[in-house]
A and B are shown apart, each in its own frame.
Chain A
Amino acid sequence: MPTVKRYVRNVQLLELEHIATRLREEVINMLHQAGSGHSAGSLGTADIFTALYFDVMNIDPAHPLKPDRDRFVLSNGHICPIWYATLAYRGYFSKTELETLRKTGSKLQGHPHAASLPGVENSSGPLGQGLSLAIGMAMAAKMNGENHRIYCMTSDGELNEGQTWEAAMFAGTSQLSNITWIIDRNNIQIDGTTETIMPLEPLREKLESFNWYVIEIDGHNIEEIINSCNMSKAVTQRPTVIIAHTIPGKGVEFMQYKFSWHGKAPNESEAKDALKQLRSLDGRIGSEYE
């Protein structure tokens, strides 16, 4: 039986990887049509969003506010294109809305606005604010005796913000074991690499010294993402932080590792090029742009 299980698991993982690719394609389309936005982080976290929304979290798109849902807080609001794409593909709202990103009158704001869309429960943009929100939600859950979890994603560059450390210090000493904080460790920020602008290392040791349970993973390995999130559910007495090592711009060669793509959207030819490279398993998108 283990062999069969393993086989089923592999099929599921292949499906998730396929979804992540579709989401990356969607992000390229959305950013190109919007004419501005943040490519690198959106592409780099597609696998994490896929794992959370298609496997890890207890959610129901048909009932986006069901009381026992797991909560998701996006702190680095600028990568919201991948969040919006994930929510649409998961069924929270119509995929046709995705093309309105950043346009006047759209529900898809350039940075997230709480309650503007089903599934979007926090506002963010100015960096460093999300972990505090997650703490408030986690405390409310504990006060109410509820068992749902709070997943919070931040970037690594935003760890420069002091508020992040206020929050990290608070949560680490408050037994908030219902928080899973995921850091998108892609090593870039607007002006350069994180280690040249404001070095974060040794990041793991810093977080451990704040009493967090730290897991480091390959942020593109969907199985590792799922396993680490599940592991965080078993940690008691303290919160868990997953340092997810990712490649900014993952999947599009000319964007990968380049901080210049942090806050830039692809133009027409760049978008075509990117979509060719991403080419979904069907090969459909690739041929469209030949």
Chain B
Amino acid sequence: MPNANEKDKKSQRDGFGEALLELGETNPDVVVLTADLSESTRVQSFEKMYPQRFVQVGVAEQNMAGIASGLALSGKIPFMASFGIFSPGNNWLQVRTSICYSNANVKIIGTHAGLSASSDGATHQALEDIAITRVLPNLTVIVPADYHETKKAVKAASEHIGPIYIRLSRDSITPITEEKSDFNIGKAQILQEGDDITVIFCGPIGAGVMTAVNELKKDNDISCEVINCSTIKPLDEKTILGSVKKTGKVVTVEEHQVSGGLGGAVSELLSEKLPVKIVRVGVKDTFGESGKYDELLDKYGLSSEHIGKAIVTAYKETAHEQ
């Protein structure tokens, strides 16, 4: 793991914008759409460089989804970018009918997801987007962990035929994956091997997870196996089951409602194929509020301290039962 220097911090949306620029040069079929959020979603550079392949739809996410589908059905590879709360939030039925049901090759990019729309408050914080996307047939759902993984996910998405939702955060965070490490859609990555408990996470909350597990190793001598589950759908069942078979204990961590997201997906898998007790860390069926990002993560139970406590609880409870 690289040193967690402040200057190393980078945002996922910057990674998205940079990857798009590279794709613009290498793939003439790539088209970018946005709904009046060109700067915030970092598609501005693409807009300047390739204006003929850029579509500004105004504040109209439903129309954007339809136009993207029409472009895809004509052979283009559209990336449509907005805040996750608006797209796939405000255009879910368009995503379902016009994109997923037609298996249109549209890449849906939702930024400012989780609590990262922090000071804008609950109206802008997408905490339900994984739940509403992972139930859609044909749709692949990816939640990259950091800047590096975002760049790789965007490139992989352009090569994958079929609709994809990529969920991104706003803030600059410490990368926890390497620039050169492998990324494959549908493959989870074991960031750290361990024997006592499996910790599965998705998204930039991974930085907090790594802090927590390093302290647990030092202070409590708990050896965590950490899985970066960046593809929510299709879920990498093999990696998850393999790890849980070894440890027998599981914690999931996500910046999302505790229901319906990563924790939900892992619970569904384990209850069918390898029933064990699971502790899910996430926002507990409540709306967020305005505030600083770090403060909100703490208030809603997602700071590294909270994650550490949850891991200890899961470790002790399941150890007691065994």
Question: Is A153's beta carbon under 8 Å from chain B?
Answer: no
A133-B73, A136-B73, A140-B71 given as contacts; is B66 within 8 A of A123 (CB)?
A: no
Is there an interface contact between B62 and A132, defined as CB atoms closer than 8 Å? yes
| Stretch of B96-104, B160-168, B259-267 that contacts chain A | B96-104
Shortest Cβ distance from B87 into chain A, in angstroms? 13
Is there an interface contact between A136 and B94, defined as CB atoms closer than 8 Å? no
Is there an interface contact between B97 and A166, defined as CB atoms closer than 8 Å? no
Question: Is B67's beta carbon under 8 Å from chain A?
Answer: yes
A135-B66, A143-B76, A167-B63 given as contacts; is B71 within 8 A of A114 (CB)?
A: no
Question: Is B70's beta carbon under 8 Å from chain A?
Answer: yes
B residues 69-88 with Cβ under 8 Å of A?
A: 69-76, 78
| Cβ–Cβ < 8 Å partners of B55 in chain A | 139
Q: Which residue of B lies closest to A67 (CB)?
A: B75
Question: Residues 33-71 of chain B: 1 if any A CB is under 8 Å from the residue's CB, otherwise 0?
Answer: 000000000000000000011010110101111111111
Question: Is A118's beta carbon under 8 Å from chain B?
Answer: no
| Cβ–Cβ < 8 Å partners of A238 in chain B | none
Q: Which residue of A lies closest to B65 (CB)?
A: A132
Question: Is A197's beta carbon under 8 Å from chain B?
Answer: no
Is there an interface contact between A139 and B71, defined as CB atoms closer than 8 Å? yes
Within 8 Å by CB of A129, from B66, B72, B76, lies B66
Is there an interface contact between A166 and B101, defined as CB atoms closer than 8 Å? no
Shortest Cβ distance from B32 into chain A, in angstroms? 12
A124-B97, A129-B97, A143-B76 given as contacts; is B102 within 8 A of A136 (CB)?
A: no
Is there an interface contact between A133 and B76, defined as CB atoms closer than 8 Å? no
Question: Is B93's beta carbon under 8 Å from chain A?
Answer: yes
| Interface residues on chain A, size class | 20 to 34
Within 8 Å by CB of A136, from B60, B70, B97, lies B70
Within 8 Å by CB of B102, from A122, A138, A163, A169, lies A122
Question: Is B31's beta carbon under 8 Å from chain A?
Answer: yes
Is there an interface contact between B101 and A114, defined as CB atoms closer than 8 Å? yes
Shortest Cβ distance from A169 into chain B, in angstroms? 8
Is there an interface contact between A123 and B97, defined as CB atoms closer than 8 Å? yes
Within 8 Å by CB of A134, from B70, B78, B94, lies B70
Q: Which residue of B lies closest to A114 (CB)?
A: B102
Shortest Cβ distance from B187 into chain A, in angstroms? 29
Question: Is A255's beta carbon under 8 Å from chain B?
Answer: no
Within 8 Å by CB of A141, from B58, B60, B74, B101, lies B74
Q: Which residue of B lies closest to A168 (CB)?
A: B63
Is there an interface contact between B63 and A114, defined as CB atoms closer than 8 Å? no
Shortest Cβ distance from B60 into chain A, in angstroms? 4
Q: Which residue of A lies closest to B60 (CB)?
A: A166
| Cβ–Cβ < 8 Å partners of A139 in chain B | 55, 67, 70-71
| Cβ–Cβ < 8 Å partners of A140 in chain B | 70-71, 74-76
Question: Is A125's beta carbon under 8 Å from chain B?
Answer: yes
Within 8 Å by CB of A170, from B52, B63, B97, lies B63
- A128 and B53 alpha carbons, distance in the complex (Å): 25
Beyond known contacts A114-B103, A114-B104, A132-B94: 6 more, CB 8 A cutoff: A73-B70, A126-B97, A132-B62, A132-B66, A137-B70, A166-B57
List residues of chain A with CB under 8 Å of any chain B CB.
73, 113-115, 121-126, 128-141, 143-144, 162-163, 166-167, 169-170
- Between A and B, 30 residue pairs with Cβ closer than 8 Å are A114-B102, A114-B103, A115-B103, A122-B69, A124-B97, A124-B98, A129-B66, A129-B94, A129-B97, A132-B62, A132-B63, A132-B65, A132-B66, A132-B94, A133-B98, A136-B67, A136-B72, A137-B74, A138-B70, A139-B70, A140-B71, A140-B74, A141-B74, A143-B31, A143-B76, A163-B66, A166-B60, A167-B67, A169-B58, A170-B57
